[in-house]
Structure 1
Amino acid sequence: MWHQQELRYIKRKGKRSNALINFDSDSVSLRLQMSVQILSWVIYVLGCDDKNLSSILDGFTLLAYFGTLEFWVWLLSCKMEGITLGAHTIRSHGAKVARVHLQDWLILLLLIAIDGFLNYIEPFHRFVSKDMMTDLRYPFKHDTIPFWAVPFFAGVLPLVVFSVYYYYRKDIYDLHHAVLGLLYSVLLTGVITDSIKDAVGRPRPNFFWRCFPDGKGVFDAITMGVICHGDAKIIKEGYKSFPSGHTSWSFAGLTYLAWYLSGKIRAFDRRGHIAKLCLVVIPILLAVFIGISRVDDYWHHWTDVFAGALIGTTVAAFCYLQSFPFPSEKEGWAPHDFFRMLAERNRPAASSYDDSYSLARRPDIESAPMTSENARENPE
């Protein structure tokens, strides 16, 4: 349903638009009418249609509201059935949530240290013979997607989405669990990827030019193994082909974002609105393009990219489902903690986390109408 504040906003925008354009409905061009119809269809397909939409908005008002951030935030959260979690903010519940999950944040710091150590040590130098150089002589090109851009796509971009959602919903539990799950997804993927890189030591497709930057190959007279004389750091990176770190990190962050978006817009609500998947597919498609760029740049074999995508996707799914239900579930839009708190409000004497959590899944609670009044919890 439309929130009262949003209704006042769009009515104000509508009056302003009508005053500037000074048209009535009879003089609207065919192109404008088609635009309004298409926009109304998109709103309906996404499951956000309101019975009073036609009486509230005329064509100009709808188009004026279409270009605002408020419209897209409403479109993202329109399936929330009027539940507002504004009682749980960083100021009121931030310290409490941090204390409860302190051990998770400490382990996160440990993962950072482990990943740094894995990048410092020397990887296994797999035997590379003269005959193998035929398949490892691809050009040594610069990265199409530089390494510094991967944390932006896999980390910063999802964090921006989480922050925008928090700005309008004021739910610290959703923000905290989304951020914590994302960081675990990326860091666990990094540790797994770098561990395999160091253990396997597979040479990159451009290994020849890393090993022999002058183009003159030097090989052992007995084993015919390579005797590299290039830069030590470049040679070290040349033994880290499998799996692709760019790909695994990208899929870890962007697949996690796809899970998050699918829960918020109820992409799998069994109503047949396939158009919702377009929004979910965008982050995954971006990760796919990053993986393809690694093959195009001759930094990885296609099997390296495939393995990296598999690792990142798997870890992202496990990390997301630790804090959020499956997006296909009725309560898939909110973290588990919300339903636990809802159960505690209905039964204050709940003795344990498991009891209250199971109570949140009871049919009588699921079927009970939830409004912004009874879904709030007073700040401590």
Structure 2
Amino acid sequence: MKPLIDGIIRVGSDLGFIVALIVTNTVLQNVGPYKRGYFVQDESIKKPFRQNTISSTVLYVVSSLLILITIVVGEVIVSAKSLRKTHHRIPVVLYPIYDSLIVACFGYFATIGLTDVGKVSFGRLRPNFLDACKPSDLQTTILGFVGNFTCSSDKSSGLRKSFPSGHTSIAIYTAIFLCLYIQLRFSHSRMYPGVRTCFQMIYVALGLVVGYSRIIDNKHHWSDVLGGGLLGFFVALSTLYYLPYVGDTGNSLPTYRDDQVTTNKQKMAQILFTPYFYSSHLFHHILWMNNNIFPIFILKNFFLLISTDSPPPPPPLYVFVIRLIM
């Protein structure tokens, strides 16, 4: 009886928290952004208005389906042996599917919420602002600054919400989350590393295409796309690092467990802090002079990680910090 009660409490708290995030995001999306003016000579907001190459609906549907399909198929593959050997009333594969989907949903809606906070707080004008807004009733100062104006176009919705890019943050979150999910779940399986890496590169490529499209469509400045990408990247890392459920292969819904948190943190530490480029002669000879440059250091470790089956134990964190600053 107690496991049933614990499971009900777990599911209720999970779903309640997800609903709270959705409600918060809905409120944030209806909050007016900070109203900032513009300079008449500002060329960065004079680009022509273009329709979306990738609409919000397409983004939400495709990203959600990618997460759902990847997790369901992945957990079925991982649990295939257990499915053949056990005869539970509820298939054991449903538990890790639920766990992973809850973690993915939390990060997904957290990304949307943090993005909306940035949009409301900064109120940055989009690159196509003047063409889409067609401001009237201008009150221009001597320096050419327009503080008070009225948009005469019906395309003025969201023109003050350029930073950060919501499309990019969601796309990059989805890509990085799925890359790390595949790495965590299949790092010790017989799945070919090349197949795993191929899927991971596809996810990353799709995320980058979304970001590029926002610049091409004049919906965002390049810095908006960069900010959205970094936000999605770090939310994905934090979600899998701190939430305990991904990788739990038990046959019941677990409650919060410190040992599972520790296990996930050890796995993520191997992903983030192990210097894999030392085992790659190609990278060592081509990029040896750049080993201490932070972006290259991170990229080499990340991309070499996803093609490595059995990573060595991570060094202490202070060793990683010393390598970054020296």
TM range (shorter): 0.5 to 0.7
Is the Cα–Cα contact under 8 Å of residues 255 and 313 in structure 1 kept in the other structure? Answer: yes
Other-structure match for 2:221: 301
Q: Percent identity?
A: 23
The alignment partner of 1:227 has SS state of strand
Partner of 1:284: 204
How much does 1:111 deviate?
Answer: 0.9
Q: Corresponding residue for 1:193?
A: 115
State which of 86, 101, 109 in structure 1 corresponds to 2:19: 109
Q: Which residue of 1 aligns with 2:231?
A: 311
Whether the aligned pair in 1 keeps the contact of 2:25 and 2:112 (CA below 8 Å) is yes
Question: What does residue 260 of structure 1 align with?
Answer: 181
Q: TM-score, normalised by structure 1?
A: 0.57
Alpha-carbon shift at residue 273 of structure 1 (Å): 4.9
Q: Does the residue aligned with 1:239 lie in a helix, a strand or coil? A: coil
> How big is the shift at 1:166?
4.4
**Structure 1 residue 255: Cα displacement:** 1.6
Code of the aligned partner of 1:115: N
- 1:219 corresponding residue in structure 2: 138
Structure with more of its chain in strand, by fraction: 2
Q: CA deviation at 1:109?
A: 0.8
Tell me the SS of whatever aligns to 1:126: coil
Is the 2:10–2:253 contact (alpha carbons within 8 Å) kept by the matching residues of 1?
no
Q: Name the CA shift for 1:340/1:147 in 2 (closer, same or farther; >3 Å).
A: closer
Comparing 99-108 with 250-259, which one deviates more in the overlay? 99-108
| Residue correspondence of structure 1 range 1-380 to structure 2 within 5 A | 97-132=7-42, 134-167=43-76, 169=79, 170-212=92-134, 219-222=138-141, 224-225=145-146, 227-231=149-153, 234-266=155-187, 273=193, 276-323=196-243, 335-336=247-248, 338=250, 353-354=257-258
* SS state at 1:148 partner: helix
Which protein has the larger Cα radius of gyration, Structure 1 or Structure 2?
Answer: 1
| Kept after mapping to 2: 8 A contact 1:251/1:284 | yes
CA distance in 2, matches of 1:266, 1:254: 18
Amino acid at match of 1:247: T
Give the letter for the 2:55 counterpart: P
CA contact (8 A) 1:252 1:313 kept: yes
Q: Unpaired runs of 5+ in structure 1?
A: 1-92, 326-333, 343-351, 360-380
SS of match in other structure, 1:228: strand
Q: 1:353 to 1:143 in 2, by over 3 A?
A: closer
Unaligned runs of 5+ in 2: 80-91, 264-326
Whether the 8 Å CA contact 2:56–2:167 is kept in 1: the answer is yes
The CA RMSD over aligned residues, in Å, is: 3.5
